[in-house]
Structure 1
């Protein structure tokens, strides 16, 4: 007698209702999406491209602590200063996997430096822009015991002593450097520009008398404690917290700086991962510790969405190109 062999799986499929088979297929299709939604499954590294202890470092540690609670994973701060705050982001763009586990704080120098010297990154295509966080407030400051009480006093000294007035800022090609060069050009003076790795280092040099003045952000806490004297701010309006301090525009120098601080990762990050990071950090912007750190430096909490921050990057890149060409700044490669 001939017997027909029936494959066990086929027999099983005949016994299982079609609706259950379809449901099982749907679950299988959803599995990859479910795995993607588990981000983050391990700690996230946040590169802060300035030395520990500076204003940006303090702010980012507060913000990261708040965001880590929403992500459900620790956010580990790694300080990687250098090249005006672009060394860390550039290294991340070259070496980090686009999985969201390594991101970086970025500043406006990232978009300016390519116009000044050869760099290892493309400012518009090598990064995944996540969001904008706040904006640095640049000011002209001197040590509290300095002989100079006004910006006009600095200018008068520089005119009488060409090249002797030393002005500090964070790195070559940064907003502070550009502001220094623009002020010197408008005032018709020659100054000695002194770059530092971070604002904390520049402040130490200023207070210690190693430089005469500083055009940089991060002066707030030192001005509040009476260790530095703020002479002017590079804004459109006076600060509410420092109403007695004029803007550079009021003094006849058309210099107002918008230097956005934001978050970015390497290019190619999945949209779902970008969204998860964006949402966690956005929800943390109101954290009291972070807000206090911003207020100490009179920094505005300027949020930009992912799309808005991407547009800011393009606009900043184009405007910096014009400024650099106007001033004729070029650094050695």
Structure 2
């Protein structure tokens, strides 16, 4: 009886969820690496031109930045495909793995030291991700992009979208000119809010393409192209402000804070639009939330210990009056604007 009950509770993941899981995992590897490559490109561009953090676009002429950009695009394509097969509650939290990749590569390439407790944070991210994977809801059966459009036109989601857009405009036109260079939450807030809408549109577009490839052409519906326009607009906005955040603040701080805000808002948007939790028991919902909190704890621990390590390294370098590694001018105070000799 006990074995039968266990099997009833854990019937296994559907084939679509497995495809989404594999795509999401590969996406995390590409995106995690792209953060580091883009950071290196931004540093090189900033040494010979106007930094992105103060409005410059010299990084567009830097090949290394483009390598990072292409790597991120590959990761985003895999992520895009994952949303077509699996619910956002499964796909989005797996982005925590990109933080682990980013932290490990930052330790090796950017010399941003990874503490022992940072490793513990990585472990917590893996545990939390595994918990969510094992209890993720099955993907909602959708037969037309019109059905997704009806979900988007639900009053609850329309209210959420209006609230997000209002907040984004306030951040861009009021807070960024005053606080963008000193408060990391301003840039990250824009990226995360816009990102929650882009994921919903990406999921809708992914479903439309999946249905089209299966023989049910969705490209004839105007809703498909509306979702495409929203995706393009949101992605360009995210890319612009994420570049500013990466160039202005420490990579080890940008990555986890962006992940936490982006994931939280995306899950909220998905619950409102696709009503994922309506197909789950209270136990499954609580377990997923515990997994998510575990991931949040891991990212917080990772970034706090990274902050401590960077501070110790900066003090050590200053006491020895050493500039041997060439990174002493930009990564010492991760939560504030990086000091630079460049005038604006």
Band of TM-score, shorter chain: under 0.3
Specify which structure has the higher proportion of strand: 1
Structure 1 length normalisation: TM-score?
0.26
Structure 2 length normalisation: TM-score?
0.25
Specify which structure has the higher proportion of helix: 2
Q: Which has the larger radius of gyration?
A: 1
